Structure 1
Amino acid sequence: MFDGPATPPGLPVDAAGINLMTAAGRTAWRDGQASAAGIRRDGRVLNVDIVRAGAAQDCLIWRFSAAPGTDTLFDPSEIIDGAWGERMGEAGVMIALIGSEGRVRAANRPMVKRATGRGDAPIAGRDLASLLSSDSHGQTRFKLEGPLGTPLRLFTIPVAAEAENGPQLVALIDDDSLRAGEGADIPLQKLLAMLPLGLALADRDGRFLYMNQAFIRAANVAAGSTPVYPGDLVIRDDKTAVADAVRRFASGQTSSGDMSVRLRDRPDEPVALTMAGARGLGEAAVLLSLKDNTEESRLKREVAQATKMQAVGQLAGGVAHDFNNILTAIIGHCDLMLMRHTPGDSDYDDITQIRINSNRAAGLTRQLLAFSRQQTLRPQILQLPDVIAEVSHLLQRLLGETVTLAVNHGRALGSVRADPGQLEQVIVNLAVNARDAMPNGGTVTLQTYAVSAADVRKLGSDIMPVIDYTALRLSDTGTGIPPEILSKVFEPFFTTKEIGKGTGLGLSTVYGIVKQSNGFIFADSKEGVGTSFVIYLPVHKAEEPAQIEAPVKVEKPADLWGNETVLVVEDEDMVRTVAERALSRHGYTVLTASHGEEALEILGQGTQIDLLISDVVMPTMDGPTLVRHARERFPDLPILFMSGYAEEQLRKSIHIDRVAFLPKPFSVKQLAEAARDALAGTKPIIT
């Protein structure tokens, strides 16, 4: 107001004003406060209020204000902070009142927000020049917004009678036409802004001139942090390569090229940065493109995980198949030895122990086959609540006293087609894992609910067909699974439990059973909160209402002896020997062959064969090919396939009628029962 550091009453006002301030100052020293009105300065009428202050009451505070009824141009709070300033801001005009010394006296809210980042930040007394910046092209921007900020146009309006020394009103408006540099075209900027691709422009020195929103999202540029160079977006190791590429494209021909870079905030996921030389775009010399490949990376990880699981599954299935042959020989020889010993003999207990451990090993191979989706299933049409009801008593004992079991069933649940025994194993495995994750107790919740096709569509899953499902959710309140481990929980032999407390096959078995039942399973976990597994099984669609019935079991024949002639075809010598000795002990005449060609030679010798028992997978000629040739000559010949693979998988690949299956490993008794059933024309029960 007074152009300098003078203090009252010695201010540049008329003589009458000095007298008024002198008298008011004396009164304030005496009474503690005083006021004076009608002080004139350059055509303005001012009032002053004086208050004595300070710890020792030895200071005076002088407050000057425009007298009521004077020109409102001299009242910043009226023209800037009031409704008039707000109305100007809504029109896109930022205004500030600047003193002759260049400091801001007042500014409207849009001006304050753009200059300081906050609409309520204090701005009075700050130097206007410190809030603005200028580049080599003479373009002015807010310093806070950096070189990528929108250029500004400034207009000054004198508000005092003496324009040279009085305050000025400064108006600032955005000028988008200057954003990409001198000569840049407005339609180009609008085009880049509308394109869904991440695009940016850089000048010959490698500085960013423009970035559209897609580029900002792909580069994950944080709000308020404006990168100056493309190298600011990548990790330190890639900075030099990016800078060299920008300079090369800026000074070379109008060519393009790609390079793999790692962003600073995502160093583990390389992304493709495309550059091309730009000509005729003003200061813009390089066009950069960055693709937001977050979704693509996620899909690649899922495909890689699925491929890995499939490969591991094939390996597990092959190992289990070969191991089943070994277990068949071990269990068979144990059975043959037990026929020569009675309980109480010195060797009887040892042989029994060998057989028990062999059966335990057979259980592990069944888990491997379940993971590789090659396990024999007996699917039925059933309701999930019925399965949970059957296993709930077992769960109560497994979970213990410190863990509470809660069961909630939804309404209108569709029936599913699955093996009830295997579903019970799925529930038990998940419940046991939940119990182990809650050493101090907690709650395990089993919940069933219907999931419509519309709900599946909302889930946005890329792998689940859009059909109706019945879902089963098992959740706990345990310690949770770390994010870096969550993606590995379904892998075989992966376990976080202590040595001796887990094989790492529990969840892989669950995964295999669910997938073999045409379902899907997903895991979700938060550390310290708990873990939940959700299983989606497709609703079974039948032409007629399905009746849920218990499986009908074929009665075992009481007499396992026979006098028929049996041809056993098996490429594994140990399995062939066990089968030959087992059937011979039950009265059969047994012929053996090590492969399909040898079996055809035996069939062509004219010997009456009553039953053909054959392995499925054999070298030179497999079992199904052998059976097709045999059926051409003997159409009614009974066939019994023995295999370590699942019956369902074999039936899908073997289109032969009237064949029975016996899974490996099997005991001597099971082989005799299967042979008797095949000769009788009934399908053997596979356990």
Structure 2
Amino acid sequence: MATLPRTNRHRLTLLPLAAAVLAGFAAAALVLFTLNDRAIAVGFAGTGLLLGGVMWSARRLFRGEAAAEQRADWAVAHALAAASSDALAVTDRSGKLVCANDLYETLFGGWPTPPNLPVSDTAADALGQAARAAWRDGGGKVENVQVFGAPIAAHVARSGEDSLVWRFVGIQALDLANQVQDLIDGATGDRLGAAGIMTVMVTLNGRVRAANPVFRERAMGNVDAAIEGRDFARFLITDSSGLVRFEREGLSGTPLRVLQIPFLEGEDAPILVALLDEENMERPAPAIGPGAAAHVRSLIALLPSGIALIDRDGRFVHMNDPFVRAARINAAAPPLYPIDLVVREDKAALADAVRRFAGGAGQSAEMTVRFVDAPEEPVALTIAGARGLGDAAVLISLKDSGEEGKLKRQVAQATKMQAVGQLAGGVAHDFNNILTAIIGHCDLMLMRHSPGDSDYDDIQQIRANSNRAASLTRQLLAFSRQQTLRPQVLQIPDVISEVSNLLKRLLGETVRLEVKHGRNLGPVRADPGQLEQVVVNLAVNARDAMLSANPNGGGILTIETLAVSATEVRRMDDDVLPLGDYTALRIADTGTGIPADILPKIFEPFFTTKEVGKGTGLGLSTVYGIIKQSGGFIFADNLPGGGAEFTVYLPVHAAPEAQVAKAPLAKQKPADLWGSGTVLVVEDEDMVRAIAERALSRQGYTVITAENGEVALEMLDGIERPDLLISDVVMPLMDGPTMARQIRNRYPDLPILFMSGYAEEQLRRSIDLDNVAFLPKPFSVQQLAEATRDILDGK
């Protein structure tokens, strides 16, 4: 354990002590000299000594306390850091480095203070964000920090209230370069050289980091020559035919085959280079013996990149473990040929490439193939000739990009969902304008017809179907996370209790419902109606899945609530779920589960496994939209014993228990909707503007209409102050909030009612005005009259 250097500030504390003693003696000498009174002089000297003694005792006391405090604070931290297999460091609240272990010094070449480490600017910014997250949430993490070419994971955790613990995981990957360097410099390099294999480790800037003796002799003429730090490219020359030779041997020297093996990921990673003498008719290359072949395979086994050796007949000779994992090879029944790994469409191209390089093709080539076990994931292969390695004639290397491919697919899926969501939101907005006009005209016609009239039932049917279409647009807006929610602070068990009776009727006689509630559940903030829709949708899907698997036996639907603490979230180590406290809702069934090829698509809009004519494909996408708009997360998975499980995580709302709503309160509707006053209606859709004008005029209001914001501002110059402004939010030329701000400059206390087919939560972020109400589209004539009366009455 290394001890950080300390300052000598304690020496400065001796200065006041010495000053006090000297001042006492100086005063005594002055009194003795001027008054010639020894008694007073002795008194001054004694006072100086007394003050010095007091200061000395206080200094020893406080210094002892500080030393004891320091030992109490950091002795255990030093011991734990020294015993850890990871690089550890501790910083205090001011950002100073308090302690660090030896691995930290080895990793960063000294004692830099995080996040200001010898890494890229991007990585340093990420470390700074992780530190801020740790101070705020208790922990932070950076997955990939490139340190001298090795990917290192950084974990930052808050310890108490005054310090951060930095833990750097994966430093063993950094040791791999040192291990390979030791192999090249040691006996393994000698044995490779005896087999005719020259090995060099080259840094990113082309400098030699290590080389075996045979390379030193061929490149510099001396086995003991100091080659480290020299430019690797200066040792080689290329002739007009593209053949590579040693510069020292000239154009008459033996041609070389150069193989580059990237054994570490990252832009700063060193590269392992192997050089082999080219075979020709006059001078065959030295054959590699059985012992040297074993050393070559041992060297390949150390590399993290997937590498395989192929003979002249196209058969596998050797493959290392990373190649086996990346190619998903069954160790019990390994393939004989490389083409056995790929899909039928890629077999011919791969076989042709292996044949060309086995026959002596120069350079190397890259190609993309798809493995039989994962046809959806293209994999990049690098193929090169491997002469002088005994039976091996071709070297194939691949990179295990499974995790990278997974992340790319997740990004593509998120981008697609976002694009479809924007499309769905735009369609729903336009459709809401049409439905507002249809429902409004139906309401106006019903005012002229009474039950029993020949047209009354037809109008009611049109209105009922319009309301069904409105519920469909709400589903589209829910998927695109643009619906208007009415969030309340509530307890999830109360929502489950409200919907339990409905669920029992929906599930039928053959499906049994089991409800389990955990303890210490925190309140959440969500729309109770929309949360009920989530539970019903998931329960109905589970019922259909169980009845499809077993039409007669039914099954068991389990609804469970549980508390998930931030500690449990940190232990889950999920990249999607942020650190925090959650209340979870888990819905599981006993069906056959979700097929693996369908599981990634279940939240996509319009995707359904039901037969044609049944289901809209918006059920799970609506659930996804509601949960995401509520600030939560939803995951789907298959249970080990069969069946599917959906888990919803909603963040715990930090509110007093008294604020938690037990049940939504019904809104009291005004009995009399008649009113008076002037209402300015601004709406760019002619049909919606006409409905609003007719509906409000029937209630006794004087209505003035404008087709956009600019026209409304011009009209205000010629009329008296209106009593209410009703405006659409999204309009061409000038939107509603911009127009309303200009009108408020003229009439600061003018009440405003915005109406829109988009979500209220989304729009309020762009509306920074007080005394503003919101009416979602589509609305009925009565809803418009109620909203108008409420805002004029000051409710």
1:648 aligns with 2:761: yes
Which residue matches 1:155?
none
Aligned twin of 1:449: 562
Provide the C-alpha distance between the structure 1 equivalents of 2:348 and 2:607, rounded to a whole number of angstroms.
41
* 1:364 aligned partner: 472
Q: What is the match of residue 193 of structure 1?
A: 301
Displacement of 1:480 in angstroms is 4.0
How far apart are the structure 2 equivalents of 1:406 and 1:252?
69
In the alignment, which residue of structure 2 is the partner of 1:568?
A: 681
2:684 aligned partner, one-letter code: D
Q: Which amino acid aligns with 1:359?
A: N
- 2-structure distance, mates of 1:228, 1:181: 23
The aligned counterpart of 1:76 is none
Q: Equivalents in 1 of 2:287, 2:532: separation in Å?
A: 66
Change (3 A) 1:539 1:356: same
Residues 524-603 of structure 1: matches in 2 within 5 Å? 524-525=637-638, 529-542=642-655, 544=656, 547-549=659-661, 550-551=663-664, 555-603=668-716
Identity, % of aligned positions: 72
Answer whether contact 2:510 2:555 (CA < 8 A) is retained.
yes
Residue 79 (structure 2) aligns with: none
Residue 330 (1) aligns with residue 445 (2): no
Maintained 8 Å contact 2:357/2:384? yes
CA-to-aligned-CA distance 1:85-139 (integer Å, 9 cap, x gap): xxxxxxxxxxxxxxxxxxxxxxxxxxxxxxxxxxxxxxxxxxxxxxxxxxxx9xx
In structure 2, relative to structure 1, the CA distance for the partners of 1:660 and 1:180 (3 Å cut) is farther
The aligned counterpart of 1:109 is: none
Give CA deviations for 1:546-604 in whole Å, capped at 9, x if unaligned: 63135566643333222211111111110000001111111111111111111111122
In structure 2, do the counterparts of structure 1 residues 654 and 185 end up closer, same or farther at CA, with 3 Å as the change threshold? farther
Q: How far 1:363 sits from its partner (Å)?
A: 1.4
Amino acid at match of 2:341: L
Secondary structure at 2:374 match in 1? coil
Is the counterpart of residue 494 in structure 1 residue 602 in structure 2? no
Change (3 A) 1:267 1:333: closer
- Does the alignment pair 1:628 with 2:736? no
2:517 equivalent to 1:409: yes
1:472-493 deviation line (CA, Å, top 9, x unaligned):
1112223544333333332333
**For the structure 1 residues 639 and 203, does the alpha-carbon distance in structure 2 shift closer, same or farther, using more than 3 Å as the test?**
same
Mapping of residues 112-511 of structure 1, within 5 Å: 184=292, 188-202=296-310, 208-227=316-335, 229-246=337-354, 248-249=356-357, 255-277=363-385, 286-437=394-545, 438=547, 439-440=551-552, 441-498=554-611, 501-511=614-624
Distance 1:506 1:425 in 2: 9
User: In 1, are the aligned partners of 2:287 and 2:390 still within 8 Å (CA)?
Assistant: no
TM-score normalised by structure 2 residue count: 0.59
- Structure 1 contact 181–209 (Cα < 8 Å) conserved: no
Distance across 1 between alignment mates of 2:301 and 2:364: 21
Shift of 1:184: 4.3
Quote the residue 2:163 is aligned against.
none
Structure number, greater radius of gyration: 1
How far apart, in 2, do the equivalents of 1:546 and 1:213 lie?
A: 60
Cα distance in 1, alignment partners of residues 364 and 469 from structure 2: 61
8 Å CA contact 1:443–1:476 kept in 2: the answer is yes
CA distance in 2, matches of 1:263, 1:350: 61
More helix per residue: 1 or 2?
Answer: 2
- How far did residue 616 of structure 1 move? 1.0
C-alpha separation in 2, matches of 1:261 and 1:500: 39
Q: Secondary structure at the match of 1:653?
A: coil
Comparing 375-384 with 342-351, which one deviates more in the overlay? Answer: 342-351
Cα pair 1:336 1:582 within 8 Å, conserved: yes
Alpha-carbon distance change, 193 to 625 in structure 1, aligned in 2, over 3 angstroms: same
Matched-pair contact (CA < 8 Å) for 1:204–1:283:
yes
Give the Cα separation in 2 of the matches to 1:399 and 1:229: 54
The CA distance in 1 between the partners of 2:444 and 2:460, in whole Å, is 11
- Counterpart Cα distance in 1 of 2:288 and 2:630: 59
CA contact under 8 A between 2:381 and 2:399: conserved in structure 1?
yes
* Partners of 1:635 and 1:567 in 2: CA distance: 16
- For 1:478 and 1:225, the matched residues in 2 are separated by 33
The amino acid of 1:471's aligned partner reads A
Alpha-carbon distance in 2 for matches of 1:477, 1:258: 47
Measured in 2, the distance between the counterparts of 1:503 and 1:522 equals: 21
Q: 2:221: which partner in 1?
A: none
- 2: CA distance, partners of 1:201 / 1:621: 68
Shift of 1:494: 3.0
Moved more, 446-455 or 270-279: 270-279
Q: Report if the CA contact (8 A) 2:306-2:321 is conserved.
A: yes
Inter-partner Cα distance in structure 1 for 2:346 and 2:606: 38
Q: Helix, strand or coil: the match of 1:484?
A: coil
Task: Name the amino acid aligned to 1:575.
Answer: V
**Structure 2 residue aligned with 1:28:** none
Deviation (angstroms), 1:665:
0.6
Cα distance, 1:411–1:590 mapped onto 2, change above 3 Å: same
| Kept after mapping to 1: 8 A contact 2:593/2:639 | yes
Structure 1 distance, partners of 2:399, 2:712, is 63
Cα distance in 2 for residues equivalent to 1:201 and 1:480: 41
Instruction: Return the alpha-carbon distance in structure 1 between the equivalents of residues 770 and 453 of structure 2.
Output: 46
The amino acid of 1:218's aligned partner reads: A
Tell me how far apart the structure 1 counterparts of residues 705 and 653 of structure 2 sit (CA, whole Å): 44
Q: Tell me the distance in 1 between the aligned counterparts of 2:613 and 2:317.
A: 62
Q: Distance in 1 between matches of 2:632 and 2:579?
A: 13
The residue identity in structure 2 corresponding to 1:198 is G
Contact between 1:374 and 1:646, CA under 8 Å: does it hold in 2? yes
- Cα distance in 1 for residues equivalent to 2:522 and 2:711: 52
Structure 2: runs of 5 or more not aligned: 1-194, 196-285
Question: Residues 682 and 727 of structure 2 are in contact (CA less than 8 Å); yes or no, is this contact kept in structure 1?
Answer: yes
Across the aligned residues of Structure 1 and Structure 2, the Cα RMSD in angstroms comes to: 2.9
Rounded to whole Å, the distance in 1 between the matches of 2:442 and 2:760 is 26
Contact 1:328–1:665 under 8 Å retained in 2: yes
1:609 aligns with 2:717: no
Q: Which residue of 1 aligns with 2:629?
A: 516
Residue 406 (structure 1) shift: 0.9
> Kindly tell me: are residues 278 and 496 of structure 1, through their superposed partners in 2, closer, same or farther at Cα, counting changes over 3 Å?
closer
Q: 1:641, CA displacement in angstroms?
A: 0.6
Report the Cα offset of residue 663 of structure 1.
0.3
Cα deviation, residue 326, structure 1: 0.7
| Secondary structure of the structure 1 residue equivalent to 2:738 | helix
Q: Distance in 2 between matches of 1:651 and 1:587?
A: 30
Report how far residue 453 of structure 1 moved.
Answer: 3.1
The one-letter amino acid paired with 2:660 is: I
Q: Which moved more, 1:532-541 or 1:451-460?
A: 451-460
Where in structure 1 are there 5+ consecutive unaligned residues? 1-136, 138-177, 683-687
**Contact 2:288/2:388 (<8 A) preserved:** no
Q: 1:364 to 1:259 in 2, by over 3 A?
A: same
Structure 2 CA distance for partners of 1:434 and 1:282, relative to 1, 3 Å: closer
Q: Where does residue 173 of structure 1 map in the other structure?
A: none
